[in-house]
Amino acid sequence: MIDKKTLLAVFQNRYACKKFDSSKKIPKDEADFILEAARLSPSSFGLEGWQFVAVYSDELLRKKIGEACFAQDNVFTSSLIVVSLCKAAKAYAPESAFVRQRAERFPDELAAFLADYRGYHGYLHSAGRLDEWSRAQTYICCANMMTAATACGIQSCAIEGFINDEVLTILNYSAEEWNVGIITVFGYAAGDNFEPRKKIREPKESIITWR
């Protein structure tokens, strides 16, 4: 098992890097490691309603995505961009081919899975929260990727400022089938971004309640 102090040090050392050194490239094996952290992330009902587009060597694509992210410098200068896409609401219908394909991987009977899933889906559908639920799961992947990157000495930043339909068009994904959950950028810090400011967090006593 990982030593607790070592793991906490990784969390302590992660920060939102606002500018990367574009001359420094993340080794491919470490980029693969970061993406593996996303692939192994948990998802609701184990459906894995996501796709990850890793922009590693296509500089024109990096530029286009940067422009769709309101020209944020850390997107342009990053070594790796991971666009986490999430299935649109209609994909999660209990009788959809997607849900059936995912559910059939599990050892339990499909009917048993659907009996459990159908009620929860019905609630999300009636509350208009299916897209929100789908998108939220990509944030788990994002957090795991950033932690994995920090463990490798690689900086990162989560990007929530982007034009959804523009990014989908750039990547040739249908806006009827997909949404952009979150974009995460990775690289090696440049200049003043190399030394992060002291981490600011509320004390445990003010945010944790034990019952």
In the block, which residue shows the tokens 């906490």? 8
Q: Chain-centre distance of CA 26, in angstroms? A: 18
* Ordered alpha helix ranges (H), the chain: 4-13, 28-39, 59-68, 73-76, 97-103, 110-126, 130-151, 164-171, 204-207
pLDDT number for residue 162: 99
Per-residue pLDDT of the chain (211 residues; tens, 9 = 90+): 889 999 999 999 999 999 999 999 999 999 999 999 999 999 999 999 999 999 999 999 999 999 999 999 999 999 999 999 999 999 999 999 999 999 999 998 999 999 999 999 999 999 999 999 999 999 999 999 999 999 999 999 999 999 999 999 999 999 999 999 999 999 999 986 666 778 899 999 999 999 9
Q: Which residues make Cβ contacts (< 8 Å) with residue 68, sequence separation at least 6?
A: 162, 163, 166, 167, 170
Measured in degrees and rounded to the nearest 5, phi and psi for residue 55 equal -95, 105
pLDDT number for residue 197: 75
Q: Superfamily for 14-197?
A: NADH Oxidase (3.40.109.10)
Maximum CA pair distance of the chain? 57
Q: What does the domain layout of the chain look like in residue ranges?
A: 14-197
pLDDT number for residue 136: 99
Give CA–CA dist 31/53, Å, rounded.
12
Q: Which residues make Cβ contacts (< 8 Å) with residue 136, sequence separation at least 6?
A: 181
**Half-sphere exposure (CA, 13 Å, Cβ side) for 204?**
1
pLDDT number for residue 64: 99
